[in-house]
Amino acid sequence: MKALFACGGTGGHIYPAIAMAEELLRRDKKASVLFAGSVLGMEKEIITNRGFDFAGVNARPFIRKFTYKNLVNFFWIIRSFFESAALIKEFNPDMVIGTGGFASYPTVFMAALAGKRTLIHEPNVVPGVANKLLANFVTHITAGFEATVKYFPKGKTLVTGNPLRESIVKNRRKEALKYFGLKASLKTVLIMPGSRAAKSINRVFSGVLPRAAKEMKGTQFIWMTGSEDYEAAVKLAAMNKKTRCCVKKFIDDAGLAYSAADAGVLRAGAGTLTELTAVGLPSLLVPYPHATGNHQELNASALKDRGAAIVVKDRDLSEETFIVSVNNLLKGATGAKIKKELKKMYCADSAQRIIKTAMGL
């Protein structure tokens, strides 16, 4: 079995593809796996660090406003189709799986034209442009959310949930508390908005932290700031020693952070929401307002409508809404109800179902 995975752009597209590849190799240890993605994206480093082969194509996004850069991008987009065709001819995969994003489009499209078995997986509630355009060409479609089905050809889409890496669902609380320097007797709040989308949440929490000792008693924090705000956050934490706060620039092992946490303050990418359903972490979701197609707000609404999260828009986030929401998650019946609803939403066998569908089983 030879499988080509096309992904890129964000972790929400990359990590599900990795989980699928790992599942394929569990089923068939002799399977040959290759990833394709943009030469400019983060995918190459993430994928090769996990021991997979990677082939880059010169995919570029169309910018959703009038700009001369689209003329340049158009040239690279045309070139990426020829590169993808050459890659498919050389590797000759039995199946091609795309997980969305502009980097996946040329590879999946050329595979479909070549008559290969193709599958696209849509991790967000509302599909991105690439998957919408591919829907009529591919053999199979799978989706992370029930609400996504209506956007694709009738009868062609299977709801599978979004695949996760095993490290996310493994509970390592004792190890996690030690790693982050936290106390088992206190409730832990994980603030992990992502390095590129942390600014507004960091600003609000900078005001919350000095108030936490009085207004959020018995609470400690893990605060992932990203690189820009890290130094200031370290100084702020040192000035507020009454409240335990572990400041991290980045958290590579998200599963370890989830193991320590009793509640979260997070963005609403598809990958993050899938992780929340898996670990059952009651959370305040603050969707990133500049996400393409407003997909984070739509993702968050899928959980809010099920009573599986508290959602506050980025522009409405304040110190007061932060404190009230997180206290409700930790100390009221709200957190227990949300945890129950999250567990109902989790599909533990997502990767298995997607791979079986791709293989035609």
Report the number of distinct structural domains present in the chain. Answer: 2
Assess whether 75 and 141 both reside in one domain: yes
Q: For residue 304, give Cα distances in angstroms to 50, 80, 181, 188, 301.
A: 34, 39, 32, 22, 5
What pLDDT does 72 receive? 67
In the predicted model, what is the mean pLDDT of residues 122-145? 92
What pLDDT does 100 receive? 86
Give the tens place of pLDDT for each residue, 293-336: 788 999 999 899 999 999 999 999 999 999 999 999 998 789 99
Token duo for residue 103:
């980097």
Residue 254 domain boundaries: 168-345
CATH number for the domain harbouring residue 143:
3.40.50.2000
Q: Give the residue among 224, 213, 217, 216 at the shortest CA–CA distance from 246.
A: 224
What pLDDT does 63 receive? 55
How far apart are the C-alpha atoms of 191 and 221, rounded to whole Å? 7
Token duo for residue 266:
């997070």
Assess whether 145 and 210 both reside in one domain: no
The mean predicted confidence, pLDDT, of the chain is 91
How far apart are the C-alpha atoms of 130 and 199, rounded to whole Å? 28
Give the tens place of pLDDT for each residue, 144-192: 988 899 999 988 999 999 998 877 888 899 999 999 999 999 999 999 9
Assess whether 78 and 60 both reside in one domain: yes
Assess whether 121 and 9 both reside in one domain: yes
- CA 49, 52, 57, 60 torsion: positive or negative? negative
Three-state secondary-structure class, residue 32: strand
Q: Which of 104, 129, 163 is the last residue of a domain?
A: 163
Assess whether 85 and 188 both reside in one domain: no
In a domain, 357, yes or no: no
In a domain, 361, yes or no: no
In a domain, 360, yes or no: no
Assess whether 231 and 308 both reside in one domain: yes
Percent of the chain scoring above 90 in pLDDT = 69
What pLDDT does 195 receive? 61
Quick check: 62 pLDDT over 60? Answer: no
In a domain, 174, yes or no: yes
Assess whether 222 and 324 both reside in one domain: yes
CA end-to-end distance (rounded Å), the chain: 13
Assess whether 148 and 215 both reside in one domain: no
